[in-house]
Structure 1
Amino acid sequence: MKLSDRINRSRPLATTAMHGRADALREAGEPVIDFSIAISHFPAPAAVREAIAHEAGRECILPYTDVGGAVDVRASLCAKLRAENGIEATPDEVVVTNGAKQALYEALFALTDPGDTVIVFRPHWPAYVTTAQLLGLRIVLADLPDSLTPEALDALGPARVLIVNNPHNPTGKVYTLEELGHLRDWAQRSSGHIVVDESYEHLIFNGNHTSLASLCDWRKLGVVTIFSASQSYAMMGWRVGFALAPRPLARAMHTLQGPITAAAPWLSQVAARAAFAGGRPGGMLEDYHARRDLVLDMLAPVPWITMAPPDSGPYLWGDIRALTSDTLGFAESLLEEEGVALMPGDALGVPGFIRIGYISDDIVTLREGVRRIVAYGEYLRAAARA
């Protein structure tokens, strides 16, 4: 069978591939500790569980809804945008999707043609690059600066779309008001569009999250903002998120979603309505903060890793170039020898770094996984000296 050239040029998403390998080893009885992605040990918020129980008891039939989401669900999301993000929007500017990835794919599909340029900051969430490759886009990878300046943005060159992750995965960077202003000004100068992924908006330890769309005429500039329930509400398996886009673009995304998946499942929409209406889940952020500090304390004495405290997010981003620049090899060997899965920086565009998801399992397992990472690194360090 001949497969298309399009799919032959594509590769599996690195994050899901590593997680899949860890799952397969667990199924085979191996005691694998999986830090490759972030799966919260918290359940979905109580309001979500109560809403689902009420809906299940009220009706036996789960309806099809409008492809872009039930109107009352989209209206509730507009209320969330107004109250939490300072953005005025209407239901026909909201598209409810099966998670952030679908929103990203649809936005890029509708905004670009093959060969158009998209700018992605690295390190990056792998789906940004993989999606752009699927669509035949020209990808410009730029190092994420410590501070985003007009000069840094202008040096990127012209582009149809700039993808911004705020808060950022994996570094935990939270963009300042000044930096967001520079992004707005870049869009005005260049006529480029900005897709802003704000999936981690409630997972902030230091600083404050501001939506770019609240600081500009987002309709005129063509700013797309993506939200997800997965991380901010510990709802990974619910597969639900939404996009805010100018009306013509939202309609185009609606048109694309129809033949792909149609609407997100009704119960997921009910769950999204309850989650996004509930604000920040209580207790979750404090727990994550304590776990973050625990891992940082364990790694602080280790001479071959440098890891700054992230301002947000469920990940830690570590520089291990003092030990090795082959982080793909390090990750493969670590999984084989120590039964710990983590994400090599190669998959996120920056070899020599590792990403650790620290919000899964219990504290005992977290400690044991970090201990195994340190022990394996020390083994490699001793072997290199011998």
Structure 2
Amino acid sequence: MFAESAALARVKPSATLAADAKARDLKAAGKNVISLAAGEPDFDTPDNIKEAAIKAIRDGKTKYTNVDGIPELKEAICAKFARENGLKYTPAQVNVSPGGKPVIYNAMVSTLNPGDEVVIPTPYWVSYPDMVLLAGGQPVFAPTTAENGFKLKAADLEAAITPKTKWLILNSPSNPSGAAYTKAELRALADVLLRHPQVWVLTDDMYEHLVFGDFEFWTIAQVEPQLYERTLTMNGVSKAYAMTGWRIGYAAGPVPLINAMRKVMSQTTSNPASISQWAAVEALNGPQDFIKPNAKLFEGRRDLVVSMLNQANGMHCPTPEGAFYVYPSVAGLLGKTAPSGKVINSDEDFAVELLETEGVSVVFGAAFGLSPFFRISYATSNAALEDACTRIQRFCGAVK
């Protein structure tokens, strides 16, 4: 008889992937569904990046590579960090993995022992706590509030840290809330971390280029150089370059940590796809002029969605600084009755009823560790967003 391992029993499947899969199944069955669950840009990968991949194939660059990245890509990553973040790294300090998830997981597996704690602000990307659990660690959740813009405050970080704390995972701009930390806000968190030298920082900067208005992006090792030697600065090509399926994530940090992560990869995934690596070289070294216009398009979509959701009965939607998500509250709908006759007792109930009644797929807030909210990805067309938000308004208007 099959029995899953104790490690696997500690975790649950990704709620975002599950919501998107259910929407796909309903579409395949003929139901008119708009999925706002998946977190990937609807733009196509730029042509110069595609051509670089095709050239790599034609040039025979289809063999195994160095386990954690080709030298050319590591050089491009070092140049990116210097150019955009004022951070100087050598190729020996760089890890390239088959996506952002393996970067995080390999860092956790490389460093966590039973009982070690990892501080994770809520709401969090669904995979953070489960990767910590798989690696044998213990997630410790530090709360944020909508009133504070879903951003971790220094006092709450201080309260979450214990002698067992090994890591803080910090995501800015955030999935799921879109919240992004200012330089001053990172400075306050850095001051706490300086008092706790045993705590390392994994900063997930995957949405770095998707910030709006006059917001200026900063990463924590840039704000506080004393944290440089205990920070893993993570990024990737998936969001800014519309390369989700190419599966390239990367990070830079202290050489002993990078060496440990390489050791894990040598016995698990081995190298990321060679073709994807050469495409990523072109992404980082090639023209960057499409990034800001794309961010401007996302900003317009954000404004559309925030405006329409705030017109829905019983709903409040804050305006985030970045990424391509909003995280609205459904507190005003709890305890009320959906058109189906079922009572909405939670954000999960709301998401289920919205999908069943109006065919709009969203991800409920409990999956991200903070209720009663839900996440919408607005990485789709304006027409689809207007249709979806109209359906949400109709659903909320029918709640009794």
The TM-score by the shorter chain falls in which range?
A: over 0.9
2:71 match = 71
How far 1:12 sits from its partner (Å)?
0.5
Residue 232 (1) aligns with residue 236 (2):
no
Question: Could you tell me which residue of structure 2 aligns to residue 139 of structure 1?
Answer: 139
What SS does the aligned partner of 2:169 have?
strand
Deviation at 1:155, TM superposition (A): 1.7
Letter of the structure 1 residue corresponding to residue 139 of structure 2: I
Corresponding residue for 1:297? 307
Deviations 1:149-194 (A, max 9, x none): 5433322232111110011222222212122223333222112111
Q: 2:174 aligns with which of 145, 168, 172?
A: 168
> Which residue of structure 2 lines up, in the alignment, with residue 203 of structure 1?
210
Q: Is the counterpart of residue 188 in structure 1 residue 194 in structure 2?
A: yes
Deviation string, structure 1 residues 77-115 (Cα, Å, up to 9, x no partner): 101111111110011111111111110001111121121
Match status 1:339 vs 2:349: no
Amino acid at match of 2:131: T
Distance 2:361 2:313 in 1: 21
Correspondence list, 1:1-150, <5 A: 1-59=2-60, 62-144=62-144, 146=148, 148-150=152-154
> What is aligned with 1:258?
266
Alignment of 1:207-356 (within 5 A): 207-217=215-225, 221-277=229-285, 278-279=287-288, 281-324=291-334, 326-356=346-376
Give how far 1:322 is off: 0.5
Q: 1:132-161: per-residue Cα shift (whole Å, max 9, x none)?
A: 121232221111262655433322232111
Q: Which moved more, 1:127-136 or 1:174-183?
A: 174-183
Tell me, in whole angstroms, the C-alpha distance in 1 between the residues paired with 2:255 and 2:179. Answer: 30
Offset from partner CA, 1:4-33 (integer Å, 9 cap, x none): 222222210111111111122222232211
Change (3 A) 1:155 1:2: closer
TM-score by length of 2: 0.90
SS in 1 for 2:267: helix
Offset of 1:230 from its aligned partner? 1.4
Query: Aligned to 1:371, which of 376, 390, 393?
Result: 390
Question: Aligned partners of 1:43, 1:172: CA distance in 2, in Å?
Answer: 22
| Distance in structure 2 (CA, Å) of the matches to 1:219 and 1:250 | 16
Q: Aligned to 1:306, what secondary structure does the other structure show?
A: coil
Shift of 1:282: 4.7
Matched residue SS, 1:232: coil
For 2:379, the equivalent position in structure 1 comes to: 359
* Alpha-carbon separation, structure 2, partners of 1:214 and 1:27: 47
Q: Which runs of 5+ in 2 are unaligned?
A: 335-344
Q: How does 1:149-160 map to 2 (within 5 A)?
A: 149-158=153-162, 159-160=165-166
Q: In structure 1, how many angstroms separate the alpha carbons of the residues matched to 2:296 and 2:138?
A: 41
Report which stretch shifted further, 216-225 or 249-258: 216-225
TM-score by length of 1: 0.93
Contact 2:142 2:152 in 1 (8 A): no
Residue 301 of structure 1: how far off its partner (Å): 2.2
Partner of 2:340: none
Distance 1:282 1:179 in 2: 24
Q: Which amino acid aligns with 1:339?
A: G
Which segments of 5 or more consecutive residues in structure 1 lack a partner in the other structure?
none
Specify whether residues 39 and 292 from structure 1 end up closer, same or farther in structure 2 by C-alpha distance, changes over 3 A only. same
CA–CA separation in structure 1 for the residues paired with 2:130 and 2:392:
28
Partner letter of residue 222 of structure 1?
R
Aligned length: 379
